[in-house]
A and B are shown apart, each in its own frame.
Chain A
């Protein structure tokens, strides 16, 4: 009897403990959300050296205005607060702390640039505030184990490097491969993806790697060296200025390798036209977005919707600027994620839903490319498709390549 009573007492004590602990354990943090509004924070370089990208922050604001005009997300209007950080990491830290601690935003969205995001990476994860769809191609944003509150957006450079490697192995299994890369993290990220993708075979196939500094005036000698190495496949990891030089020089000295050009320099307007359309013929690149200057999309539904949106909500934005298409895509993904959250806009659920996106299509992604995330995969877009330049447009070919799924 007494023993039973004791047992009962202990059981009750545990019960009480359980009741008091249970709500604490599942406590949800709801910040920046009211019945009529959700606050979203952002920083963009509206001034300073990278201000050309500032249009992304503006086009996102324009899209959220459209969402609000149409009634908001699940009845809530989006209150989009965006500050200028001038692409300066200390300013990003200050502005992001203002957003999180003073403005009390629910989440941070599309902060732009690798250095600015690096400066706030730890802070966001310590504060446990969603740090979503950051605007940078670095690979480190996909690290849910150590940084569960951070998520990237576009395919990262390593992913793209793997796409080219797979194509080289398939089409030119016995080729000699020459590589030109920019000597910094961007160039090395691409190089790593490519070499990882080539695996053992790469050690024999890659005959020459040449690098350049972003401050170099020209890369002519590197191209001559690559030609002399006897390479029949050329992986060209250069930013637009040097891509133009490389394409021209290779053409001028009569070197005609299978020429893989990184997506960074795939623009018709800034690279292929200046380099010469004849010289650019048969270039290969990997794409995930519809190029807004490419005539083949002129009657595409996603493209025409974007043009209509731009004319109504962001008339001062340039229609030949890919960044405006990029911002439109990612803003739609943000609104989609919020919709998927339903009425539970706790930070935990926002993060949970962001890591549970399944086959989401965005209007300016290439047909067939979809957004997919999971709790162990914080890289939303991991698919790309190869395209060959036919002298007028990028013509996609082959299957959509998924960097981490078995082919």
Chain B
């Protein structure tokens, strides 16, 4: 039980550090970290679909957009408090994702990727079509929420805590979901869907459900982003967003919950570094980073950390009785 206690202690330490950040960092940096947490939620959603369930989506930017617009329209048209818009956006995206999943999941692999890609292409244009609600290409300007109860926090600090709280909650939920029966069924479908079916897993239902939950997570991220940016417009949700989320999921580590955070850090900060290194060709530099990361850490950042962890433990403990456990937690890497 020692490793588990160690892990819990580590997790608490990370959360404690995250809670301390607002009091030592500038508002601008906090804004960036708020973005990281928002991306992390979206990437975790995508990771459940792609990493755990083995389905590709190039269209999660669309759910991110739907979440953001649901939140923005509720705040703008009906003056709903932003906190209520977040679960509504999540549930709505869950339903949309589930319904989209029912027919789309008859498609496999690359074909599904293309079908979802078309969603990412279509949504920004559809948003312009419902101009009365969405404000067309001008978008909707929102206000940043202030801290409630007279808390002495700046809007940036408050939003940081809200996002952090939502992220921790959603991460805990997905950890529970993926650890149990449902999680095993989801992974079984990825590993061998015929075998899974033979064992009595309703694959099409599970696939649709996974798609729905994944879309719901991404929708929550979108809703949070509407408040963080205080503005939504179709140009905020172009195709590149979907690709960026997939990059985050892969670089962070597929089929890893903590990988979502690493992936989010990557997609938030690496493009900026690339721009600092070369103004002329930032995306070429970004591409180099991407290739280096994939080459050095073939199982993502989370996978690399896990391997490092195992190696240091192996060198300390001469024999390795826990190899079975590591193999289980390391599912995709051992495939």
Contact = CB atoms under 8 A, between A and B. Distances in A.
Interface of A: 46-49, 82-84, 86-90, 93-94, 97-98, 101-102, 113-116, 118-119, 121-123, 138, 184-185, 213, 215
Contact of A83 (B137, B141, B275): B275
B136 interface: yes
Contacts of A98: 28
Nearest to B268: A94
A25 to B, nearest CB: 25
A368 B27 CA distance: 47
B102 to A, nearest CB: 27
Given A84-B275, A118-B141, A184 B136 contact: yes
B227 to A, nearest CB: 12
Contacts of A121: 141
Contact of B231 (A87, A119, A185): A119
Nearest to B241: A88
Nearest to A103: B28
Given A113-B235, A118-B141, A213-B129, 11 more contacts: A49-B235, A88-B241, A90-B35, A90-B236, A94-B31, A97-B27, A98-B28, A114-B138, A115-B138, A115-B139, A119-B230
A300 to B, nearest CB: 32
B58 to A, nearest CB: 17
B137 A184 contact: yes
Nearest to A101: B28
Interface string B133-162: 000111101010000000000000000000
B125 interface: yes
B204 interface: no
Most-contacted residue by chain A among B27, B35, B141, B235 (CB, 10 A) = B235
A115 B28 contact: no
B238 interface: yes
Contacts of B31: 94, 97
B283 interface: yes
A114 B235 CA distance: 10
B240 interface: yes
Interface string B102-143: 000000000000000000000001001101000011110101
A138 B138 CA distance: 10
B28 A118 contact: no
Contacts of B141: 118-119, 121-122
8 closest A-B pairs by CB:
A119-B231, A101-B28, A115-B233, A115-B235, A89-B236, A90-B229, A97-B28, A185-B138
8 contacts: A48-B240, A89-B139, A93-B229, A94-B32, A122-B141, A122-B143, A184-B137, A185-B137
A96 to B, nearest CB: 10
Given A97-B31, A101-B26, A115-B137, A215 B125 contact: yes
Contacts of A47: 282-283
B282 A84 contact: yes
B242 interface: no
A397 to B, nearest CB: 34
Contacts of A116: 235
B236 A115 contact: yes
A94 B35 contact: yes
B225 interface: yes
Contacts of A89: 139, 229, 231-233, 235-236
| A83, A88, A90, most chain B CB atoms within 10 A | A90
Contacts of B143: 122
Contacts of A118: 138-139, 141, 231, 233
B238 A48 contact: yes
Contacts of A46: 279, 282
Contacts of B225: 90
A113 B233 CA distance: 12
B238 A88 contact: yes
Contact of B235 (A87, A93, A122, A123): A87
Contacts of B139: 89, 115, 118-119
Nearest to B226: A90
Contacts of A87: 235
A88 to B, nearest CB: 6
A94 B31 CA distance: 8
A272 to B, nearest CB: 27
Max count, chain B CB within 10 A of own CB: residue among A84, A87, A89: A89
A119 B138 contact: no
Nearest to A97: B28
Nearest to B276: A83
Contacts of A101: 26-28
Contacts of A185: 136-138
Contacts of B229: 89-90, 93, 119
Interface in B279-297: 279, 282-283
Contacts of A119: 139, 141, 229-231, 233, 236
A135 to B, nearest CB: 15
Given A101-B27, A101-B28, A121-B141, A88 B236 contact: yes
Contacts of B35: 90, 94
Interface in B224-265: 225, 229-236, 238, 240-241
For B136, B229, B232, which residue has the most chain A Cβ atoms within 10 angstroms?
B229
B307 to A, nearest CB: 33
